[in-house]
Amino acid sequence: MTIRKADDATTGTVTLPPAGLPSRNPTESYWLRDPSPVLLGHRGTPDLPETADVVVVGSGITGAFAARFLKEWEEGKEGEERRRVVMLEAREVCFGATGRNGGHCQPLVYGSVPAVAAFELEVFEFMERFVREEGVDCDWVSLTGVHAFFSKDMFELAAAEAEQLQQSHPELAAQLDVVRRSDSSSTSDKPTLASLRVPSAEGAIIQKKAASLWPYKLVTSILERLIAAFPAPSFNLQTNTPVTSLARANNGAGWTLTTPRGTITARQVLLATNGYTSHLLPAFSDLIVPVRGQIGALLPPTSPNPKPIPVPAKLVHSYVFAADPELGSVAPRDDYLVQRPLPEEGELIYGGGRRLARGLGVGEWRDDEVEEEVARYLRANLAPVLDLASSHSHGEGGQQLQQQGKEREEEDELEASFEWTGIMGYSRDHHAWVGAVPESLGGGGPEGGLWICAGYTGHGMPAAALSAREVVRQMMGGKMGVEETGVRLPDEFVLHEERVARARELPHLTQGWEATNFAGLIGGAGVPAGGKGM
């Protein structure tokens, strides 16, 4: 990627090239190995409609929930009152970031703006309840999240932030536990670094709200049900239909989207395009930057004790491994892990290693390549930071487990059943962009009919669902969402001209770390974003 200098540093003019279209031959994600037969190649009508009331571009978690809320808004309405909603997807359903992420849903409670932390907790609880009440088969497992720090200084900064919440926001602090090297299981039942399987860490923060899931199955369940309940033209899903350009309609009322299959004009358009947003809105090139992440599905080691049969390690937490001391702010560790349920293979879904990627992955919008150096890091790096012994105890056997961990470090790298990449949308000011696109960015404000919900900075799973509901509420004139639920979109997510100006006073994204809370942690004000949403 080539970064161009702005003509005038005071104006914040675009310095990054816009993203291209999603790759036609992407890497094969673990989550996409069993695609929905209902949705594969789905087109609600053989031809692309010429008009619609609303077009949603993108079929990931944001697009799926937005479509659901749009149709929920119409409940009880009939005939002409019902909007014709068309969803356009460049590839197959959910083949973008949501189908390529780390399988986490975890709010970031500490080191974040309190309003954002509270919102993400609301989203988590909404998602947990939604999966349960709707009977969504997506392997949702509620657990706790362990953020293990391998730099003492950075752990102390993170711990100080977590402990400061006790005074400022005790309801948030109640969601956290701080674990130090000095903590011992012999004096209390409090977890230790050894019991958390991270004995070599300098310290850890436990977040009580976390989950692992099969994100593709969550999205496909929503869309399959929409297709069944609202057949075309009420809800018309069109896959393999990339939008190549977006322009005002000739009559000025609405927008015309051009695709290889023809054009479609709609009164309102919602871009749920995340890292690809700048392809259709080049003015966002410096505000939402594509960043490529990489993940592997690793087969876990089995117990060296063969009786009765070798058993894979069973993890009861999700993990973030953060902050190597030797690299500091230049390229900090930000790796993340969940395990697939046992007694199946129990694959370890391990992502990260971006500090080894070409250009740190910044500006990369193609997900058709696996970088071997990153893949090798993911296959070989997990054992030193995580105790992968198949059983764990606080008392006897602790030394044996440590010895097994040391032996594990010397073994060959783990076998990967899948290795893939995905494109995240990194926001210049850390936060998602939700609302009407202003005229200066290519829209026309609330009356212009162009909306966006994107830019999650690798943290979309605990933010997207209710961000989608908020943007739909705005599109429908404030008729749903806040009034009924009390859930309030954080001010930090709201899209307006003043925020754009403030964001453009920040440094341009050249490494990607500037848009994560790592940048704040190094300065004493933030921590890495756990729970990757890609």
SS3 469: helix
pLDDT tens across 446-495, in order? 889 999 999 999 999 999 999 999 999 999 987 544 445 556 899 999 99
Cis peptide before 343 (omega within 30 of 0): yes
CATH number of 30-94+216-278+427-501: 3.50.50.60
Q: Which residues, including other chains, have CB under 8 Å from residue 207's CB and lie 6 or more apart? A: 106, 107, 108, 109, 110, 144, 145, 146, 147, 175, 176, 530
Distance CA 235, CA 66 (A): 12
Amino acid 24: pLDDT: 95
Spell out, as residue ranges, where the chain has pLDDT lower than 50: 1-14, 328-329, 393-410, 480-483, 519-520, 522-531
Q: Which residues, including other chains, have CB under 8 Å from residue 465's CB and lie 6 or more apart? A: 61, 65, 123, 126, 127, 130
User: Left if phi > 0, otherwise alpha if psi is -120 to 50, otherwise beta: which for 8?
Assistant: beta
Amino acid 300: pLDDT: 86
- pTM to 2 decimals? 0.90
Helix (H) or strand (E) holding 385: helix 372-385
Query: Using an 8 Å Cβ cutoff, are 19 and 365 in contact?
Result: yes
Dihedral sign (CA 310, 145, 324, 100)? positive
Distance CA 112, CA 199 (A): 26
Distance CA 148, CA 386 (A): 10
Q: What is the CA radius of gyration of the chain?
A: 23
Using alpha carbons, select from 443, 531, 534, 532 the residue that is nearest to residue 205.
531
Distance CA 90, CA 83 (A): 22
Q: Strand pairing partners for 494?
A: 434
- Beta strand 203-212 with 104-105 is antiparallel
* Per-residue b or e along 268-307, where b marks 16 or more CB atoms closer than 10 Å to that residue's CB: bbbbbbbbbbbbbbbbbbbbbbbbbbbbbbbebbebeeee
Three-state secondary structure string covering 279-298: HHCHHHCCCEEEEEEEEEEE
- Beta strand 235-238 with 85-88 is parallel
Distance CA 140, CA 301 (A): 24
CB atoms within 10 A of CB 393: 13
